[in-house]
Amino acid sequence: MKVFMIAGEPSGDRLGAALMEGLKSLVPEVEFLGVGGTAMAEQGLTSRFPMSELSVMGIAEVAPKYFHLKRRIRETAEAVVEANPDVLITIDSPDFCLRVARIVKEEEVEGQTFGHDIPVVHYVAPSVWAWRPKRAAKMARWVDHVLALLPFEPPYMQAAGMGCDFVGHPVVAEPQADDAAAQAFRAEHGIGEAPLLLVLPGSRKGEVSRLAERFGEVIAHAKREKPDLQVVLPMAQGVEDLVRKEVSKWSVDPILIPATDQDAKMAAFKAADVALAASGTVSLELAASNTPMVIAYDMNWLSRFLIGRMLKIDTVTLVNLVSETRAVPEFLGAECTPDRITPALLSVLDAPDAQNEAMKFTMERLGKGGEAPGLRSAKAVLGAMSQ
């Protein structure tokens, strides 16, 4: 069995790795081709080019890289056709992945009609319940089946004409640090019983560039209210140099954890009393470790304006959406300012248990305690191929 996979950012890389592990347990002779990051490489994928080339987000952010991305789209589609896999699995990153699928399914290039009837499975349903609802019908032209992370998503995909399975989220199966690891982390770094703030400014360069200064100001304000406050910052893959540069401007020196030290990252998550994080999958990671949080995010002004006009929901934080609460404070766009964020952060620090029920319920709804999402997604892929 030959599988061509495409992931465009770290969260997709983790999804892809879990799926690959599941497929290998069901079909030991499976062969993987495509584009991915370090997690997928550990499962046996040799990426055709660095996944970091695709890790951009936002309309204005993509524009300067348009021609390079367009070339990579063409190259990747041609590689899919040449490989003629049993299935093409595209993981999130729809601006890249779905363009590849479209070429593979439809286009005629230099007199050659691609039009290959390769089954296409897209992992992560588009958030049509949040904005741009017509995306589902459009992607149904090139996608046969969808693997959904959220339990309320399948009906949206099925209504558009695609098969869809809720497969849970891999975060529920990821190992968590225990109390002993948290205490050891505090002891190692001389934190003792002081309040510990976990700072997560994003995994993309654009996110770090926009949020780091504001996060630094929040920390400075919070430090004045809580003089013994300690700060830890696990760095994401591909942005470590930028993080170090931005953090050097802060008035507080955080404990920096390298992207490669996963054990220290998980211990920091468990040891932290509160987190200040960019919006995204990280809110689910925090919920998995039962770490109360405040979410803050901003985009380029043009992206902010356009997306803001299209949003159909009043929160983008996944814990709020899955738990159907608004337990997690969030500050987006024009609201993403230190003077607004700081009081909320201090409030959560003073009452950390307020988010416990929402985080617990989120994990339950995402499949905690059930079959591993990687295995569920692998079974769904095989089922879609047999239809």
pLDDT digits (tens, 9 = 90+) for 17-52: 999 999 999 999 999 999 999 999 999 999 999 998
In whole angstroms, give the CA distance from residue 110 to residue 296.
47
Q: Is the pLDDT of residue 180 over 80?
A: yes
In whole angstroms, give the CA distance from residue 85 to residue 173.
29
- pLDDT (average), residues 341-366: 96
Domains, the chain, in order of start with CATH, read: 2-169+370-385 (3.40.50.2000), 179-365 (3.40.50.2000)
Q: Which of 321, 320, 317 is nearest to 331 (CA)?
A: 317
Q: Is the pLDDT of residue 61 over 80?
A: no
Q: Do 206 and 57 form a contact (C-beta atoms < 8 A)?
A: yes
205-227: per-residue pLDDT in tens?
Answer: 989 999 999 999 999 999 999 99
* Residue 59: per-residue pLDDT: 43
Q: Is the pLDDT of residue 234 over 90?
A: yes
Q: How many CA atoms lie within 13 A of 8 on its CB side?
A: 24
- pLDDT (average), residues 124-144: 82
* Residue 145: per-residue pLDDT: 97
Q: Is 358 or 94 the better-scoring residue by pLDDT? A: 358
Q: How confident is the model at residue 56 (pLDDT cuts 50, 70, 90)?
A: low
Task: Classify burial at 196, counting beta carbons within 10 Å of its beta carbon; exposed 0-12, middle 13-18, buried 19 or more.
Answer: buried
- Rounded to the nearest 10 degrees, what angle do helices 205-225 and 338-350 cross at? 60
188-200: per-residue pLDDT in tens?
Answer: 999 999 999 999 9
* Residue 57: per-residue pLDDT: 47
In whole angstroms, give the CA distance from residue 101 to residue 114.
11
Q: How confident is the model at residue 54 (pLDDT cuts 50, 70, 90)?
A: confident
Q: How many CA atoms lie within 13 A of 381 on its CB side?
A: 34
Rounded to the nearest integer, the mean pLDDT of the chain is: 90
* Residue 308: per-residue pLDDT: 58
Q: How confident is the model at residue 108 (pLDDT cuts 50, 70, 90)?
A: low
* Residue 58: per-residue pLDDT: 45
Q: How confident is the model at residue 236 (pLDDT cuts 50, 70, 90)?
A: very high
Q: Dump the DSSP string for 118-180.
A: --EEEES---TTTS-TTHHHHHTTT-SEEEESSTT-HHHHHHTT-EEEE---GGGGS----HH
Of 117-131, 135-149, 151-165, 264-278, give the lowest mean pLDDT range.
117-131
Percent of the residues in the chain that have a pLDDT greater than 70, as a whole number: 90
Percent of the residues in the chain that have a pLDDT greater than 90, as a whole number: 73
* Residue 48: per-residue pLDDT: 94
For residue 2, the surrounding DSSP H or E stretch is: strand 2-7
Q: Is the pLDDT of residue 60 over 50?
A: no
* Residue 52: per-residue pLDDT: 84
- pLDDT (average), residues 49-72: 71
